[in-house]
Amino acid sequence: MGVKIVATNRKARFEYFLIEHFEAGLELKGSEIKSIRAGQASLAEAYVQVDGRQAWLVNAHIAPYEEANRFNHDPKRMRRLLLHKKEIRQLWDDVRKKGMTIVPVSIYLKDGRAKLEIALAKGKKLYDKRQDIQKRDMEREMGRRNRY
């Protein structure tokens, strides 16, 4: 069937150095998966919280499904991430180190199931962001020159 990307966190790559990527399943309600299949999800202010036993996706917005009426879900509720114990333990150990965090990178559908790509990340300093902006501007300028 393939992979269909539903939502990406565009600021994740700008704000953080993404060190290691993980694929996590999402524990969703029926109306949530229908909204995701319709492309109604956002990771703009979302983050991942780990408590040593479980991992949670916090503050991700999945729009209410129109046809679900009274059985609808809360758009910003915490959603449990489905990971192996070993992966949760590794994330828990790495997050306790200074400057490390877990950021959601994208939500996608893989063989009909919703998956979340998360990454272990380290925050960028202002000068790192400036270098990224400068590099992007130079690449854009080279693209313009090559076109003409």
Sheet holding 100-110, edge to edge: 3-8, 100-110, 113-123, 16-26, 79-82, 55-58, 47-50
Confidence of residue 25 (pLDDT cuts 50, 70, 90): very high
Single out the residue of 1, 44, 45, 43 nearest to residue 24, CA to CA: 43
* pLDDT category of residue 126 using cuts at 50, 70 and 90: confident
Higher pLDDT, 131 or 82: 82
Is pLDDT of 68 > 90?
A: no
- Residue 103 · residue 47 · CB < 8 Å: yes
Is the pTM here over 0.85, yes or no? no
Q: Which residue has the higher pLDDT, 1 or 3?
A: 3
User: Is residue 97 predicted with pLDDT exceeding 70?
Assistant: yes
Does 1 or 95 have the greater pLDDT score? 95
Cα–Cα distance for residue pair 9/105, rounded to 1 Å: 5
> With contact defined as beta carbons under 8 Å apart, do 52 and 25 qualify?
no
Number of domains into which the chain is organized: 1
CATH number, domain with residue 29: 2.40.280.10
The rounded distance, in Å, linking the Cα atoms of 65 and 145 is: 46
- Count the Cβ atoms, other than its own, within 10 Å of residue 54: 15
Q: How confident is the model at residue 1 (pLDDT cuts 50, 70, 90)?
A: low
Q: How far apart are the first and last CA of the chain?
A: 40
Structural domain including 60 reads: 3-147
Instruction: Please give the mean pLDDT across all residues of the chain.
Output: 90
Kindly state the helix (H) or strand (E) to which residue 49 belongs, with its residue range. Answer: strand 47-50
Instruction: Please tell me the predicted confidence (pLDDT) of residue 145.
Output: 86
Which comes out higher in pLDDT, residue 20 or 31? 20
